[in-house]
Amino acid sequence: MRSRWTVVGVVLVMVVPVLELALLIEVGKRIGTWWTLAIVVGTGVLGGTLLAAEGYGVFRKAKKEVNEGRIPKNQIIDGLLVVIGAVLLVTPGLITDTVGLILLFPLTRLPVRSAVKRWIQQYIYIDI
């Protein structure tokens, strides 16, 4: 099982940067270098801003769950996804920016959270 995930990880680490670079070059050709740079820098700033806002919201919801005597399962996963999304937004590239935005907005994060919960239940055997 681990070897499959190791292969997937290695492929992602090798392929995603190449795709990012190719996409940045193509976008730069079409809209210009400065606009492309503005998008990359802007999404980095947006990532930091959204991390603060969404992170606080997730923390507030988790605190409410704990105060009501429940384990904040969804909020733990949401918190992890928000951090990953912000890191992806700060990472230069349009593909990582897109995935980062998907992870930061609650409406688009919901299906990802559901998939993570299914994965946890299937492979880690924890009821979440």
pTM of the predicted structure, to 2 decimals: 0.80
CB–CB of 113/103 below 8 Å?
no
Q: How many CB atoms lie within 10 A of CB 112?
A: 17
Q: What is the mean pLDDT of residues 72-97?
A: 90
| 103 and 112 Cβ atoms separated by less than 8 Å | yes
Nearest partner of 71 among 81, 61, 80, judged by Cα = 61
What pLDDT was estimated at residue 126? Answer: 63
Q: Give the whole-angstrom CA distance, residue 80 versus residue 66.
A: 17
The full set of domain ranges for the chain reads: 2-124
Give the mean model confidence (pLDDT) for residues 48-57. Answer: 82
Cβ atoms of 95 and 20 closer than 8 Å = yes
Residue 6: pLDDT over 90: no
Task: Give the DSSP letter of residue 123.
Answer: I
Q: Are 94 and 72 in contact (CB under 8 A)?
A: no
In angstroms, what CA-CA distances link 35 with 25, 31, 38, 46, 71?
Answer: 12, 6, 5, 16, 45
Note the pLDDT of residue 100: 93
The chain-wide mean pLDDT, for the chain, equals 88
